[in-house]
Amino acid sequence: MSPDRAAEVQQVEAAALWDAVTGAGIEFFTGVPDSLLKDFIAYLSEHADPASHVTAANEGGAIALAAGYHLATGRVAAVYLQNSGLGNTINPLTSLVDPEVYGIPVLLIIGWRGRPGVHDEPQHRKQGAVTLQQLDVLGVPYVVLDDAVTDVAGAVDGLVARAIEVGGPVALVVPPARLAAYKRTGAAAEARFGLKREQAIEAVLENVGPRDVVVCTTGMASREVFEYRHRANAGHGHDFLTVGSMGHASQIALGIALARPDRTVHCIDGDGAALMHLGALAIIGSRAPANLRHVIVNNGAHDSVGGQPTAGLVVDLTAIASACGYHATRSVDSLGAIAGAIDALASTPGPTLLEIRVDIGARSDLGRPTATPAENKAELMDFLRDG
């Protein structure tokens, strides 16, 4: 979408969408944050009863939460998600809430990344192109909240009525630039540790060996790895930047570690990503690759899509890793402690886990990788073939 076209879009205020959804009788919200929906999520976070808003670990879990709420109340819940999360919802959409199974009405609010004709990152283009077809195949009625929809409340009312009528999910698909910016009225996130994610990642990379491999999770973390390598003129062949597939970086790292036991593999993960597919830690622990070093940079937030909270700073990730079979764990929250923790863990065969607790936030001028995903893959595979 050109800047001129974006300026022409009649934007919907977060308050108007909130009024439409709550006016349709919805009082319970759950989901996984999305950059296109961040302003609406910020608004509902300030206006919903905290007991009636749950940030889920993953989108499938959000569908199950909505189902449980309906079983207990007979009411319809709203589930918000990015369209990339549709994959995580397919099983509960087809085998739990579908009209042919339990027949549970749910309103999906879906951010449409990668919409055809709108510029977006490579990892969103395929999903964007097939989003509406996926909903068609799943039999999920939907309304695209584009310029043609001038009565938002009427559109939402109609969708919720349809969900109740058919006993199943319906979807409100929100295109890019459709929601107006919303400035939160609450206080800014407090700096608890005096350490930023980018500083933590740089400290980790400074302790990576010349033959080591780095697998980095999606979002700002991968962008920070790319920029660090660029500044250091170090090349990018050591790194796999997981620009999509949130939550799967540790299993990519495990696959490399098992196939190449002669190489040390470092996984730089995020708290939201690790929690999304927490069972991955159990698989890593059960296979016990001696060459895998897992680092979770934990700011307790979905920082890349609006800073909504996760359970990262509530749970004990090191205790979970130990219970899953990791051989050693450490948790630090200062820059000076990172190198010592890495050295201490290096003396123990993997898998090991280092949790680094950091503050929310990133540089406003943080760039994006200039290499394509295919180029990144080719460079890494060349590096792995080289001895």
Domains of the chain, residue spans: 3-174, 197-385
Nearest one of 113, 144, 106, 150 to 128, comparing CA atoms? 113
Q: In terms of C-beta density within 10 A (0-12 exposed, 13-18 middle, 19 or more buried), how is residue 125 classed? A: middle
Q: How far apart are the first and last CA of the chain?
A: 45
Distances (CA, A) of 323 to 26, 32, 184, 315, 329: 39, 26, 39, 13, 11
- Residue 100's CB is within 10 A of a number of other CB atoms, namely 10
Question: Which pLDDT score is estimated for 188?
Answer: 56
Q: Is the pTM of this model over 0.85?
A: yes
Question: Which pLDDT score is estimated for 387?
Answer: 66
> Any residues with CB less than 8 A from the CB of 3 and at least 6 apart, and which?
none
Nearest 5°: the CA angle 203, 196, 179 is: 135
What is the DSSP code (8-state) at residue 213?
A: E
Question: Which pLDDT score is estimated for 189?
Answer: 61
DSSP string of 73-102, one letter each residue: HS--EEEEEEGGGHHHHHHHHHHTSSTTTT
State how far the Cα of 294 lies from the Cα of 290, in Å rounded to an integer: 11
In tens digits, the chain (387 residues) has pLDDT values of 444 444 456 899 999 999 999 999 999 999 999 989 999 999 999 999 999 999 999 999 999 999 999 999 999 999 999 999 999 999 999 999 999 999 999 999 999 999 999 988 888 899 999 999 999 999 999 999 999 999 999 999 999 999 999 999 999 999 999 999 998 776 556 678 999 999 999 999 999 999 999 999 988 899 999 999 988 888 788 999 998 889 999 999 999 999 999 999 999 999 999 999 999 999 999 999 999 999 999 999 888 787 888 989 999 999 999 999 999 999 999 999 999 999 999 999 999 999 999 999 888 888 888 888 999 999 999 999 986
3-class DSSP state of 53: strand
- Residue 148's CB is within 10 A of a number of other CB atoms, namely 9
State how far the Cα of 134 lies from the Cα of 128, in Å rounded to an integer: 10
User: Would you put residue 117 in left (φ > 0), alpha (ψ -120 to 50) or beta?
Assistant: left
Question: Would you identify the CATH topology of the domain 197-385?
Answer: Rossmann fold (3.40.50)
| Alpha-helical regions (H) of the chain | 3-8, 14-23, 38-47, 59-73, 86-95, 122-138, 152-166, 197-205, 220-232, 249-259, 271-276, 279-287, 317-324, 335-346, 373-385
Q: Do domains 3-174 and 197-385 have the same CATH topology?
A: yes
With b for 16 or more beta-carbon neighbours within 10 A and e for fewer, the 35-46 pattern comes to bbbbbbbbbbbe
Q: Domain 3-174 sits in which CATH superfamily?
A: Thiamin diphosphate (ThDP)-binding fold, Pyr/PP domains (3.40.50.970)
